[in-house]
Amino acid sequence: MNDILSDLKFSFQRGGLLVKLIYINAFAFLLIRLSDILTWTGSIPHAWILSYVAMPLNGDIIYRPWTPLTNIFAHYDLIHFLCNILSLYWIGRLFLSIFNSNVRLFYAYFLGGLGGSLVALLFCFGANGVLLGASGAIVCMLVAAAITAPRQSVWLTFFGYVQLRYVAIATLALFFILIAGMQNVGGNLAHLGGALTGWLLALYWQKHPQAHTTVPSFARKSIRRKSHMSVSFNPDWQYNGSRADHNREVDRILEKIHAKGYDSLTDKEKKTLFDATNK
């Protein structure tokens, strides 16, 4: 047991931001569900912890002003949790492959989650329910990635390679259909709020390539103060630009294969494709 805990602690400390977000979501889920055990004993009221982290959609928000942010780490149903964690892992890795920036991942997760919470609150205020889940933040990452690299192809089971822009369009269309059918309106409005935030972030980053590529100055001071060592932070926007150019070249080669077949590729194009598939 100690070995397992040590391994988990090590992977959390050594892992990047995406790993830490997954761990935090998992820990919050376990804490919420384990609190049910205390509920059975009568020690605490039902869903006591959940009531403090989920965002109420009625006037109770006044007494829980922190919940627009805490709800993006809260899950109660196992299926909801697993779907969001798997989506966070897949889309988070996709986001990092395009932006190669943990700082931008940080902004996308928190601003996307906050944007989704505020949109849901705006349109559903007064409803008798709560909002919880990381899906608004995840949709934010998906849309930001699709705006930045719309022609990048991703593999989808049963569909094969699909360009990222079509994945984002189909996902958003599904949310609108569900809202029209009055299915989980608050949750799907949060998804659209996250999508809007992702769109705005992507446009901002395109206009300001160096924005959000380094740790903010207040965080640097905090890190130095805690570690007692000098820490340097280098902008990665130049690397991001060359990586985006490489992704566009791979997309062009894949489109050429689709239109004319593999034999139509030049030796240079074949080498580029081989290198990309073996990274």
Catalytic residues: 135, 191
SS3 130: strand
Cα first-last separation, the chain: 35
Q: For residue 170, which of 133, 142, 132 has the smallest C-alpha distance? A: 142
d(CA 20, CA 76): 19
Measured CA distances, 100 to 24, 44, 122, 209, 211 (Å): 21, 44, 33, 13, 13
Q: Cα–Cα distance between 50 and 131 in angstroms, integer?
A: 11
Place of tokens 């077949």: 261
Token readout for 33 is: 């569900």
| Residue that has been written with the tokens 């889920």 in this structure | 29
CB atoms within 10 A of CB 51: 14
Contact present, 137 and 110 (Cβ < 8 Å): yes
Could you tell me whether strands 160-163 and 153-156 are parallel, antiparallel, or unpaired per DSSP bridges?
antiparallel
Distances (CA, A) of 168 to 62, 138, 139, 152: 34, 12, 9, 12
